[in-house]
Structure 1
């Protein structure tokens, strides 16, 4: 995976160099083999899955499936037009502000549903996922991507999976993200070809611990507020790194074209 982006490093401005170094550190971290802690946490996760009521599992699975279908079909989420910002720092200043805005929205929503107990907490799943999808669409537009393109929607789902998956799945997803530009023309535009099961399972399992605590009386509101804030922040920062990969790939390709 190393050196997958060939850049004229000397031509980068100060912020681009900072972003490139940060991206490479992140990629190397994501590419590490699952360790002992991953095995332990997987065992804990299986026990938690057995504790959580089946209706909760079904609610999350249904929410993921229906919201993602709505995204792919364009029936619920309207993608903003691609922005044309010249400098990476300007792009990421806007992205940072948008992440902060969505974090506050998700935090308030999580506190409200957490205070309402079990049934209100179930309602939090589709609401939170909707906030996440909208955030990803906004971030994509700031990096100049056309969210109406079915292939860009597939990339958006890869980002979602990158943020909320086990270490093993995260590694394979990173490879797909790195090679997305070369392979996107082969991506089918039929949503039936998406691996729904893996996406639903990984997303659900990642959220189980936080969402289980959100259903506990008295502490649910606090847990919901903190959990949603952190989950949206994680997604936003993951999305930045994923779109940086494509940004620097494009930057390298354009430079090579100019020098030939």
Structure 2
């Protein structure tokens, strides 16, 4: 296990990252405007796809739905790195942070390539394939965050972790005020009780905010994707950037939780 000083150094790096999250750049804020201004002109089938995504993600919060990830591949990666057979999810929490970081980075790189290929493929048809791209990208985003959860020793089958993943997605798409609020909420997340039904309903509203912001964030870049063929380049770039940001956020927020829990263990051991 790492020393207390090593963990505190890693925690300081994450806290510096949090301070750098100053919301959207000016051009990104402008990038939201096209969809806001053209909302009424957006084809109905895109609105319908967004509605379907809301229903599916609401189901994800409750049961995991079809988005739940398969942790076997990640456990296999740990077996290869540690040389120990039969590594379990519970074993991961005792492994070094650097090992968790390495596997997390590998997974995010893989998902970025998948998202890039998907963005290029759906960019071929312009606006007619944009409705396919939105739910597919959301699915990749969810699975990426779930993989990161497993990488740091957390179980995405747990409803509490699915709500944490909602918060990660909200963080990526929020402005500076929203990000500060989410960071404050997550600072004591490990101490929270299992969510009540009423709190779960409020999280589904959070999904609505995430999905609508996803659509708005496509902005001018996704408008270019509406142009057949030219959309290949922009769709590929946009999807890769989206998964990069989601991967970074998931890594930092889950890593912070794991470091704080390790520090608590070291503190309790030193006091006994």
* TM-score, normalization by structure 1: 0.83
Which consecutive residues of structure 2, in runs of 5 or more, have no partner in the other structure? 72-88
Q: Match of 1:187?
A: 195
CA contact (8 A) 1:80 1:137 kept: no
CA distance in 1, matches of 2:14, 2:258: 11
Q: Does 1:11 align with 2:4?
A: yes
In structure 1, how many angstroms separate the alpha carbons of the residues matched to 2:157 and 2:31? Answer: 39
Partner of 1:224: 235
Match of 1:242 among 240, 247, 253: 253
Q: Which of 21, 24, 37 pairs up with 2:12?
A: 21
Indicate conservation of the 8 Å contact 1:70/1:77, yes or no: no
Aligned length: 245
> Corresponding residue for 2:81?
none
Which of 160, 168, 173 is 2:177 aligned to?
168
Could you tell me whether the CA contact under 8 Å between 2:173 and 2:214 is conserved in 1? yes
Q: C-alpha distance in 2, partners of 1:117/1:204?
A: 15
TM-score scaled by structure 2? 0.80
Conserved? CA contact 1:80–1:147, under 8 Å: no
Alignment of 1:1-260 (within 5 A): 11-13=4-6, 16=7, 19-30=10-21, 32=22, 42=29, 45-46=32-33, 48-52=35-39, 53-55=41-43, 58-59=47-48, 61-72=50-61, 73-81=63-71, 82=89, 84-85=91-92, 86-182=95-191, 184-185=192-193, 187-188=195-196, 191-194=200-203, 195=205, 196-260=207-271
Matches of 1:205 and 1:176 in 2, distance apart? 25
Worse-superposed segment, 165-174 or 217-226: 165-174
CA positional deviation for 1:160? 0.8
| Worse overlay, 95-104 or 167-176 | 167-176
Asked if 2 retains the 8 angstrom alpha-carbon contact of 1:117 and 1:216, the reply is yes
C-alpha contact 1:79 1:137 (8 A) present in aligned 2? yes
Structure 1, 84-93 or 199-208: larger mean CA deviation:
199-208
Alpha-carbon deviation of 1:63? 4.8
Question: What stretches of structure 1 of length at least 5 have no aligned partner?
Answer: 1-8
Query: How far apart are 1:83 and its partner, in Å?
Result: 6.2
How far the C-alpha of 1:186 sits from its partner, in A, is 5.3
DSSP 3-state at the match of 2:65: coil
Whether the 8 Å CA contact 1:213–1:223 is kept in 2: the answer is yes
> C-alpha displacement at 1:59, in angstroms?
4.6
